[in-house]
Amino acid sequence: MESSAQARLAVLSRQFAPVTEGMQSISLQTCSAGDSAAYERRNTADDDVVIVASLRTPLTKAKRGGLRDTDAADLLSTLFKAVLERTGVEPQAIGDIVIGSVLGPSSQRANECRIASFFAGIPEGVPVRTVNRQCSSGLQAIADVAAAIKAGFYTVGLAGGVETMSSNPMAWEGGINPRVSEFPDAASCMLPMGVTSENVAAKYGVDRKTQDEFAVRSHKKAAAARAAGKFKAEIVPVATKLVDPKTGAETKVVISEDDGIRGSTTMESLGALKAVFKKNGTTTAGNSSQVTDGAAVALMMTRAEAVRRGLPILGVFRSFAAVGVDPAIMGVGPAVAIPAAVARAGLALDDIDVFEINEAFASQAYYSITKLGLDEAKVNPNGGAIALGHPLGATGARCTATLLHEMRRRGRAARFGVVSMCIGSGMGAAAVFETGGETDPLTTARAVAGPQQLLSKDAVV
């Protein structure tokens, strides 16, 4: 089979066929950047869907953390206000607000999101809706708004997610259809998520030591990022209250930092924890994501609108994919969704500079990374959900905020990024983002191994 490089070279070589008299031929030469591209490609399509602001609340431990007594409307309204104030976008310009949420009662959560918009001063003419694709709901909201903007339904949209796991714990309501037992995949949809983690660990040989080591790295990276102030650009402090469970007394507080990060986590401390989903299992509270309260949003619009308003472009939405997998090992979702989204963006895995992969469990996150052959240094450089927490409906939007701000800090060293997660009941989702502004591939070219230095890695064929 012809290699990708050979295919690109074959296409490029056709440019050197004899030309009609009077036409200027193309010369092939190595440029000073160590790349052969005899062109500049600038991503300036007016209908590109771009993100001009991507913010989140702090993420705090459910039942015990700083946002345990804060409801969804207050979390969201805080972010809505911040996005509008920082960008100067008039609220009536928003064509739609789409919010991902998983555990809040459906109609009630939809009402809470609508109420949040009024708290933020958004007029009644701006519609609001919710979306639920479980753990990918926040990313699905971003994809839905991107699709609507691309379709021309509106020019400016607000997407995000929220979860209040202190007041809305995971639970099954009502009875279970008896026919579930007749369909193995349907029966697997009923498995606790921790059991699916044990299934992944057993099937793919991810042992306890590997999972605990992964968890330690997550906490260490998150602690280092917080100490370096890397989360400040994406976090909006929340003015709220804490209620004394015994007296009911309220204390006003401002929550400004994530409270689940434990930089002192060690293999010894994690090793003392018992498996909670299976006797002699490997999945523990220490190598699983935290149950968390929080919210995140992204303000999106066409590139033309961003330019007209003079707003800096944080990132460009390039592609999205949602896929189905075996519900019994639902954690493998990213290993299937990431290649699909990357291919839809016309890229290869090694074109991606930063990955934000949700750490629902160390077992599945580790498996997905190794299955795809990813450089772990590119994955969750500021820690993941094991350290930061996993507010189900908000996670996709939270990961997007963390990714885009990290890419902005890296400048020309990071062009493409991916957000991905597994999804309960057996799915995976992923989206590809590109850094904002005009992009000149000559400035981000990588050296080509071997004697052949004449083919651009970024060439589109």
Distances (CA, A) of 142 to 124, 147, 416, 431: 22, 9, 17, 9
Cα–Cα distance for residue pair 390/418, rounded to 1 Å: 18
113 tagged catalytic: no
- The catalytically annotated residue of 113, 399, 405, 422 is 422
Evaluate whether 70 touches 259 at the Cβ level (below 8 Å): no
Cα–Cα distance for residue pair 49/299, rounded to 1 Å: 10
Cα–Cα distance for residue pair 205/207, rounded to 1 Å: 6
Cα–Cα distance for residue pair 350/330, rounded to 1 Å: 25
Q: 370: part of which helix (H) or strand (E)?
A: helix 362-371
Residues 6+ apart with CB under 8 A from 335: 367, 368, 371, 372, 428
Cα–Cα distance for residue pair 91/95, rounded to 1 Å: 9
Distances (CA, A) of 257 to 60, 123, 220, 242: 8, 30, 16, 15
- The catalytically annotated residue of 135, 219, 399, 405 is 135
What is the phi-psi region of residue 381: left when phi exceeds 0, alpha when psi lies from -120 to 50, beta otherwise?
alpha
399 tagged catalytic: no
Token reading at 243: 């209620």
What is the phi-psi region of residue 232: left when phi exceeds 0, alpha when psi lies from -120 to 50, beta otherwise?
alpha
**Residues 344-379: b if buried by 16+ CB within 10 A, e if exposed:** ebebebebbbbbbbbbbbbbbbbbbbeebebeeebb
Helix, strand, coil abundance in the chain, percent, nearest 5: 40, 20, 40
189 tagged catalytic: no
Cα–Cα distance for residue pair 333/331, rounded to 1 Å: 5
Distances (CA, A) of 385 to 161, 175, 303, 304: 15, 31, 31, 35
- The catalytically annotated residue of 113, 219, 390, 399 is 390
Active centre residues (catalytic): 135, 390, 422
